[in-house]
Chain A
């Protein structure tokens, strides 16, 4: 007990400041070099009541770079990281499998399909919000399809859900590829889609923050309120039912939450691999599987990881940005392999 409380405390003691510093560095570093004093003054002038901090001598352009360009981008990275990690933790618990990932039940491929459709149909060019809304709608609709396919007489076995999810995901991915290949001659659109599918946060604004934040917050709060049910579902559905869990309705809620979180994340960041898989997995190894610990810690870990990855994507090879999904896979992949090897050694030892 003392040991686990200590680990818990240590985790937050390291991760919370790390997230804060990462956000600050993400706002501080970029193609335009700005003195730290300017950056801090712009941030504080906005955050503190008017008149406390003077913005004299700071050009409007500098203020826009800090407040309208870099900060929303860093915040979107944090929100997406938190959302994907939460969705991953929920799915891993629900499927009783540490290798489950957020988009497993069709939500990931559905979000991509919705976005591709928006690009191809030209809707994405109309307003900045069309693309994310299409992606969220795609993820929820494909989840509904998977859920309806897997449900018989009010009962949804998770094994059937998994199979239906894989089937619908492959189908939607194929249709997305078909749409891309049909439009490959229109290089402008095709390039946009391909870039989007590799994940990225360039030109994200406060609109994206406000679109994503309430959904991630909603998902986080609901998941946390049902953390005990998620723990019990991991003991098997019979056990969960025996201890008072309304198994079918709670399963439905968790799948919906995971799809919502995945949809909201993919909507503003494109496909970002490995965060939803690695963050909960790593946190579980450090702090144990209890959902009341795991869910918030995974969210924090995922947020920190993605802010750092986005920072890396921006600074490694300027002026070209690396795609965010490529960076997370390049960083997360080896991390994941290392975790697996460690686990394998523990088991065989």
Chain B
């Protein structure tokens, strides 16, 4: 199968500063890739570059086999959607208005909302469990609700590939697990998902594969989430990782500061 999204030797620079060095990865339909790494390792930069928002300084980025930078933005947006980390809202748009904005890549300039648009918006709101909030204004929502609205907006575009930037960063346990589950369900329906996160345990549990970034470089190429060597986690995050196996034999980790190794080890 051809990869839906493929990056080869992607380098990204802002001004004189190179933020990403020679990153390669590929996403197939139904993939769920978690991208992890310490702060400043380039997770958000990678997602912005993959979404085509920040241009690559060098390297190749193919969406559905075609160079992404050569495609029209609306054509890209129909295939690939992106949920940024910053969900700041200044004006009181309603939830439905926000989610309907996701239809932008499908709507022609003079056209108004069609039945297909309304259907896609309703379905996206149902999937993300925000349909009961549709008349609320976004600035009255909790962090978890707002994050689900952002994901609903991206689903309304009916993309085949979704990039999520730390969607669970400010969420409580239940809501965070809900987002991971939703991402896994979407992948099961054939969507390709890449999610940056700091929640390694949930990432390893829900995702198919894990890619580690460190200082703008790939520290661990995407590989099966079940077979990630603890030593790599320790090296990348600068911690000591203690592996535990749950009842099903899936690995979980307890992380310790390296200095505490002597006292507890």
Contacts and interface: CB of A to CB of B under 8 A. Distances in A.
Contact of A289 (B48, B78, B92): B92
Given A228-B107, A234-B91, A239-B84, A244 B101 contact: no
A250 to B, nearest CB: 10
A290 B77 contact: no
B147 interface: no
Contact of B73 (A98, A231, A235, A246): A246
Contacts of B154: 242
B73 A241 contact: yes
Contacts of B109: 225
Contacts, number: 78
B interface residue count range (under 10 / 10 to 19 / 20 to 34 / 35 or more): 35 or more
A122 B101 CA distance: 51
A43 to B, nearest CB: 35
A238 B53 contact: yes
B132 interface: no
A234 B86 CA distance: 13
A238 B101 contact: no
Contacts of B105: 243-244
Interface in A73-118: 93, 96-98
Nearest to B72: A244
A236 interface: yes
Contact of A238 (B82, B94, B107): B82
Nearest to B96: A1
Interface in A241-295: 241-246, 284, 288-290
Contacts of B94: 4, 288
B114 to A, nearest CB: 14
A236 B86 contact: yes
A143 interface: no
A245 B97 contact: no
B75 to A, nearest CB: 8
B233 interface: no
B146 to A, nearest CB: 12
Contacts of B74: 244
Nearest to A152: B15
B102 interface: yes
Given A231-B93, A231-B97, A238-B86, 14 more contacts: A1-B135, A225-B110, A232-B101, A235-B101, A236-B88, A241-B51, A244-B74, A244-B104, A245-B104, A288-B94, A288-B137, A289-B92, A289-B93, A290-B93
Interface of A: 1, 3-4, 93, 96-98, 225, 228-229, 231-232, 234-236, 238-239, 241-246, 284, 288-290
Interface of B: 48, 51-53, 73-74, 76-78, 81-82, 84, 86, 88-94, 96-98, 101-102, 104-105, 107, 109-110, 135, 137, 153-154, 157
Give me the 9 closest cross-chain CB pairs, A-B, nearest first: A244-B77, A289-B91, A244-B74, A242-B82, A244-B105, A243-B104, A241-B53, A244-B73, A96-B90
